[in-house]
Structure formats: C-alpha cells, structure tokens
Structure 1
Amino acid sequence: MSTLQHKQLTFNKNITLANDGEKISSDSGLILIKEFMNRIGFSSMLDEQVKLTDSRRNPDHTYNDIIEQLLLQHIAGYSKVVAANRLRLDPIFKTIFSSKSTLAS
C-alpha cells in the first residue's frame, strides 16, 4: 500500500504536503480540495460563468473571490457567514488564499 510522503502542489509551489506528523490541522484537507479546484480551472470557470455587477468603491475582494472562499468554508463545515471573521486568521485558509493580502470577513 502506498502512502503520501511528500507532494508538491500546483496552485502554490511553496506548499509541500508531507506525512511526517509535525504540523497537523483539522482543516488541512482543504489544501487538496483547493489543488483539485486549481487543476480543473475552477477560478477561470467562475470568472467566465458568473458575472455580477459590482457597485462597491475600492473593493478588497472580488465577488468571485468571496464565492470561492464561502464555498471552501462550507466544504469545511463552517456554514455560518460569521465564521469568515475567525477563519481569515486561520493558517490553512491563509495558506490556501496566499495570493490575497487578506481574506474576506
């Protein structure tokens, strides 16, 4: 039986998954979901298919960024919108959305 020893991700080359048990998180499975989303081009599909009129001035996050964050929150079991305020400090969510300076709250 093969096990995961070390695996490089494509959505963020700085992340390496390892099976050494040093740093453990209950939400680390989201990294694999984000990798899957990256491989199928989820963000591109979202940009192509979802067109929302944004009348906000100087938004920090696009609506599609917020949709992706909410989707991953729900997958992780954080169904309440108020969880975003706490999750924006979560190391796994910060890693998944490392291209953003901050997460939506």
Structure 2
Amino acid sequence: MNIVNTFSLQSNRQIKINFDGGDLSSDAGLLLIKEFSAKIGFKKLIKKKFKTNDKSVRFHKDDENLLQMIYQVISAYFQDDHADELAFDPVFQTILDKESLASQPTLSRFFNRMDEDTLIQFDDIDKNLRDIIYSIKRPEHVLLDLDRTLFGIYGKQEITELERKGLENMIYL
C-alpha cells in the first residue's frame, strides 16, 4: 500500500496538500470539497444553468454569488451577513478564485432577485448533478466503520426502550 505524502489538487495545481502538521485553518477542508466539485464539473454546471432574470451588469455575477453561498453554508456560515467577515478570507478567495467575496448587501440583493425561474433552474441543476453522480462507477467494496458513541440516551427514544429490554449487544446504526 502506498502512502500519499503530498499531492496537488486538479482544480488548482498551486495548492499542495500534505500531512506534515503545518499551519491549520478551520475552513481548509473546503479545498477538498472544491476538488470534488471540480471533478464533477459543478462550477461549470452552475455557470451554464443558473442566472436570475436581472439583466444588470454586476461585479459579482449571480453564479459566483450562488457558489459563494453554497460554500458558506457547507462551512456553517449560514447567514448572508457572514460574507462581510469572509470578504478577504484566503481559503474562500482560493476556492472561489476571487480577490474578494460578495458583501452582505450584494448577497441580499442577489436573494431578492430569486423567482420561480430560479427554482426551475435549481431543479434542472439538481437533475444534472444526479446524472453526473449516477454515472460514476460504483466502488467494488465499501467499508463502513460503525461505532456506538459513549453518550447516554435519555427519554422515550426507540433505542432506550430496546436497551431496557436487555438488548444491549445489538448493532447500532
């Protein structure tokens, strides 16, 4: 078995990942999500299939705003006002290929431009993503590592009732 010490991302060859315990960032995991996104063509799909009915020329385009919000939500920045905190975040700048992110007011205006057409576009993007994912060859083997946590269960939850009946040794999923 080979151990990968350092590898480059296909989405950005300048980024190299290794496991030597260097500088840490709580959002650096987004780089791996960006890599997966690049492999399935997610950004190209959004750019091709998504636009609002607003014809204004904007510095932050609709597809870029949508990608920014998707990455923000993935990394638990759920509110559009988090964009102000992230405007010059190096990880977000890297994954979005931008010098600065859209601000909270820009994202709020972006959300206000959503309508029934954008919902139809989201449905179409979803269908295209499913086709892409389903076309990927399935692995021959899947390893599931299932462990029971050490946290107690309280109340009238189903597992609590089973434990009370003496089924302590069952497998928990």
Same fold (TM over 0.5): yes
Distance 1:26 1:2 in 2: 28
| Aligned length, in residue pairs | 103
In the TM superposition, what whole-angstrom CA distance separates every residue of 1:4-55 from its partner, at most 9, and x where no partner exists? 5212001111100111111100111100001111110011211232232233
3-state SS in 2 of match to 1:95: helix
RMSD: 1.7
> TM-score with structure 1 length normalisation?
0.86
Match of 1:67 in 2: 66
Q: 1:66 to 1:13 in 2, by over 3 A?
A: same
Larger helix proportion of the pair: 2
Superposed, 1:1-105 pairs within 5 Å as: 4-57=4-57, 59-97=58-96, 99-105=97-103
The runs of at least 4 aligned residues of structure 1 exceeding 4 Å deviation read: 1-4
Q: 1:3 to 1:101 in 2, by over 3 A?
A: same
Output the amino acid matched with 2:28.
S
Distance 1:80 1:41 in 2: 26
Q: 1:10 to 1:55 in 2, by over 3 A?
A: same
Identity %: 36
Distance 1:53 1:5 in 2: 47
Shift of 1:80: 0.8
3-state SS in 1 of match to 2:17: strand
Output the amino acid matched with 1:49.
K
3-state SS in 2 of match to 1:20: coil
Consecutive unaligned residues of structure 2, counting only runs of 5 or more, are: 104-173
